[in-house]
Structure 1
Amino acid sequence: MTGTTKTHDVHIIGGGLAGSEAAWQLARRGVKVRLSEMRGSGEMTPAHQTDGLAELVCSNSFRSDNDEANAVGLLHHEMRALDSLVMRAGEIARVPAGSAMAVDRNVFSAEVEKALREHPNVTIARERIDRLPDAGLTIVATGPLTATALAESIVGATGEERLAFFDAIAPIVHRDSIDMEIAWIQSRWNKRTEASNEGGDYINCPMTQEQYLAFHQGLIDGEKTEFKEWEKDTPYFDGCMPIEVMAARGVDTLRFGPMKPVGLDNPRDATPEFPQGRWPYAVVQLRQDNKLGTLWNMVGFQTKLKYAAQVELFRTIPGLENAEFARLGGLHRNTFLNSPHVLDRQLRLKAAPHIRFAGQVTGCEGYVESAAIGLVAGIMTAGELAGRAWKPLPATTAMGALLSHITGDAEADTFQPMNVNFGLFPPLHEVRKKARKEAYTSRAKADLAAWVNDTREPVPA
């Protein structure tokens, strides 16, 4: 863009969840934004399928939406309080998933892009940016799939070798190819919501002990994607562990993880003594992936098995013998900064403070966490443009706790990607353990409301 007339106040690089959220927060505060996204310019990443903004490449779930029971639900609440575009679009694209918030990924992406495209303060540019700008307020939100040239520019500016981990994608199955004479619909312990499908939120495929042991061995023996030399020492992130890696940790690991059968009584095995049926030995669960209910993803089945091995093995699962796959699992390399070392408390690059980073590249993990850091980066940048001093978010809030972890509370030498969790919050040792979650959320909501009042941040009615 050298030699052109400047038409924006802030340049955002990356149109994923964090970049889109940052653009929204800036635009609604009157700031002119140029949002650069390389997809759509003839470029693509190893994991994306479309050029849509905020495309979800792994699960379609934003996890629990219960703001009283866990930290991610509280994070949802805080983002809604600050008019999050991701939360807005998520409500429109929502599909049944019990107490979790799952979305139709195509509807979600379309809603995000529509909102930004229609906003007069946002210009969407389909272009690849290969180096960090020398000047001008910039937010880099290129995510864990940052293109090679830009990643090298970031490494040059930080003076740090970039860290990396693997992220594996779960397969998606066509609903009408699932044998419902074998599988059944039920939520674990029959927990349902008003949005639930008839009978529950998950399709369950039962396994006997013999079937499970054969499947487990198939995961161990199946042909895997080979690592390149520079990938061999790269660690996995535990929150997105490939299923075959879990299987290698022990024969029963999966039965206490994504294939646990507890709370799922198979009606096909009903007897007079057990009219609801008995728990199977293991269960494969599928969760609705789109509003039409035509696509269902295999919960916890992220994998690096080769495509042919996936099809062969997954069709041994009872109920999936004739499964047709809309998408098979895959593997891609993720990159993130050693943020406690290279970023200041306002997400600015210490070596070049006109540049902020946001999203997963900062070392937060998860869709909602990524979007939340984009939201905060947008608010910070708007305040900087307006000449306002930044009043830190309370560390007692979900956003504040996550931000504190990224920008200094974590040990730089051992820094790893992190989901939001109550372990990041200032502890409440004086509160009884059973009451702590409620105490954390009550404190967070009160402290966020006070922060909003003090900073006069606009909050939707």
Structure 2
Amino acid sequence: MTDTLHIVGGGMAGSEAAWQAANQGVRVVIHEMRPKVETFAHKTGHLGEMVCSNSFRSDDDEQNAVGLLHWEMRAADGLIMATAEKHRLPAGGALAVDRDPFAESVTAALMAHPNVSVSYEEITELPDTGQWIIATGPLTSSALGAAIQAETGAEALAFFDAIAPIVYFDSIDMSQAWMQSRYDKGETEEERTAYLNCPMDRNQYEAFIDALLAADKTEFHEGETAGYFDGCLPIEVMAERGRETLRHGPMKPVGLTNPHQPEVKAHAVVQLRRDNALGTLYNIVGFQTKMKYGAQTDVLRMIPGLQDARFARLGGIHRNTFLNSPTLLDAQMRLKSRPNIRFAGQITGVEGYVESAAMGLLAGRMAAGDILSAPVQTPPDTTATGALITHITGGAEAKAFQPMNVNFGLFPPVHGLKGGRRGRKDRYKAYTDRAKADWTAWLGQTALDAA
């Protein structure tokens, strides 16, 4: 072993990255600031501690994208998935675990590995030499966050209090919605039809405002700031400032003509913007929200055209630290300005335990490949892991980049399948069959390259 891989952060991503690299024969040092430096969310100094729910979500690897991600990680000898299975709790089709024994087992497995050691210290600067993975998650320490911001620029490291919901395009009723940019702005047809519009009359708007103001909302946790950025105010906060505020903000109806009813002037218009290159996902523009999930879906489905909407991601309010990865990271998850440093986990702009661990798995394998002079190629974007890394390192729109869970909207379409609700089951099965074959081939090629 000619070099050592240093990993900053012992959460899901850091733990998985360490396990993968160590199993390739690379010496690994995990730098974990806990328990010496605490956060408001963590309760222990264990590696792999779950700080929110105890669920890894759906375990269905044929009809659910996160279940497929479980399958891929298991096929790659993933530590997080193997440990979750050992401490699994009854949860229907979901994979939920007994969180404390889970973290204890992750810690024990890594501490027992002959190629892994743990250094309990806070890393406050970006290293100039050696192979490093930064996997510090949304609760990156202020000192390290400042160092990252100094390297990437003030606008590159984002701190968001609010995120907007994202809708699957194929669940939008286009008999009520239409495609048009405000005032038909744009030099090309694609630019002139860049937004999807959902109109409301006065009665619909007033009912929407009433429901919005009455909806259950999430409160801030201790240690989180209650301040908002002016550019991403929650829609409830805007509505509380006056019932007409939204009509003069993200729901203003000016510069738009409804082709379904060209003689009728909408009282308000909700706009959605394409969120990925495939055009399968649309972000509800300006609709950052702190409504609880159940209330959120009920209220948002009051919008004409979204009455049957399916959501790839619901909106939320929380402290989050993440990179503008499409701008800053290359396809190997390396910081373009410092290629000795990779990023993994939620700080890259993925959302959720499983997605974070999957990016750790990939970063660990890629870093080990560099150290062993056996480069690891990015997995195909037809796989769940490949779709995620493709999204965060170039598939997403950099100007509107926000954290994302894995979902089938990130996958290239499977052609030749019927659409609609009845065809969705066959389509998802086709996605997962293709992904499993391509992931298996990628793992085999990776092993061949390493040999």
TM-score by length of 2: 0.67
Does residue 421 (structure 1) correspond to residue 407 (structure 2)? The answer is yes
Does residue 345 (structure 1) correspond to residue 331 (structure 2)? The answer is yes
Q: CA–CA distance in 1 between the matches of 2:136 and 2:219?
A: 33
Q: Note the C-alpha offset of 1:242.
A: 4.4
Q: 1:113 to 1:338 in 2, by over 3 A?
A: same
Structure-1 residue corresponding to 2:175? none
Kept after mapping to 2: 8 A contact 1:23/1:378? yes
Q: CA–CA distance in 2 between the matches of 1:30 and 1:358?
A: 20
**1:200-229 Cα distance to aligned partner (Å, 9 max, x none):** xxxxxxxxxxxxx9xx95946999989555
Q: 1:232 to 1:138 in 2, by over 3 A?
A: same
Kept after mapping to 2: 8 A contact 1:47/1:332? no
Structure-2 residue corresponding to 1:106? 100
Structure-2 residue corresponding to 1:124? 118
TM-score by length of 1: 0.66
Match of 1:452 among 439, 443, 446: 443
In the alignment, structure 1 segments of 5+ residues that lack a partner are: 1-5, 169-212, 257-301, 304-330
Structure-1 residue corresponding to 2:136? 142
Match of 1:405 among 388, 391, 394: 391
Q: CA–CA distance in 2 between the matches of 1:359 and 1:443?
A: 25
Q: CA–CA distance in 2 between the matches of 1:74 and 1:222?
A: 33
Match of 2:153 among 144, 159, 164: 159
Q: Note the C-alpha offset of 1:159.
A: 2.0
Q: CA–CA distance in 2 between the matches of 1:75 and 1:218?
A: 33
Kept after mapping to 2: 8 A contact 1:85/1:112? yes
Kept after mapping to 2: 8 A contact 1:82/1:458? no
Q: Note the C-alpha offset of 1:450.
A: 1.4
RMSD: 3.5
Kept after mapping to 1: 8 A contact 2:2/2:371? no
How many residues were matched structurally?
Answer: 336
Q: CA–CA distance in 2 between the matches of 1:457 and 1:417?
A: 34
Which portions of structure 1, spanning 4 or more consecutive aligned residues, are displaced by more than 2 angstroms?
164-168, 216-238, 240-247, 252-256, 389-392
For residues 248-287 of structure 1, what are the structure 2 equivalents within 5 Å? Answer: 252-253=298-299
Give the AA of the match of 1:36.
H
Q: CA–CA distance in 1 between the matches of 2:137 and 2:220?
A: 29
Q: CA–CA distance in 1 between the matches of 2:219 and 2:350?
A: 31
Q: Note the C-alpha offset of 1:93.
A: 1.2
**1:12-35 Cα distance to aligned partner (Å, 9 max, x none):** 000000000000001111111110
Q: Note the C-alpha offset of 1:165.
A: 2.8
Structure-1 residue corresponding to 2:259? none
Kept after mapping to 2: 8 A contact 1:62/1:368? yes
Q: 1:415 to 1:217 in 2, by over 3 A?
A: closer
Give the AA of the match of 2:17.
A
Match of 1:439 among 421, 424, 430: 430
Q: 1:451 to 1:167 in 2, by over 3 A?
A: same
Q: 1:96 to 1:159 in 2, by over 3 A?
A: same
Give aligned-pair identity as a percent: 52
Q: 1:232 to 1:440 in 2, by over 3 A?
A: same
Match of 1:335 among 313, 321, 337: 321
Structure-2 residue corresponding to 1:62? 56
Kept after mapping to 1: 8 A contact 2:375/2:449? no
Q: CA–CA distance in 2 between the matches of 1:114 and 1:231?
A: 41
For residues 42-441 of structure 1, what are the structure 2 equivalents within 5 Å? Answer: 43-161=37-155, 162-166=157-161, 219=216, 227-229=225-227, 233-234=231-232, 242-243=290-291, 247=295, 252-253=298-299, 332-433=318-419, 434=423, 435-441=426-432
Q: Note the C-alpha offset of 1:102.
A: 0.5
**1:325-378 Cα distance to aligned partner (Å, 9 max, x none):** xxxxxx851110000000000000000000000000000011100000000000
In the alignment, structure 2 segments of 5+ residues that lack a partner are: 164-209, 235-282, 303-314
Give the AA of the match of 2:38.
M
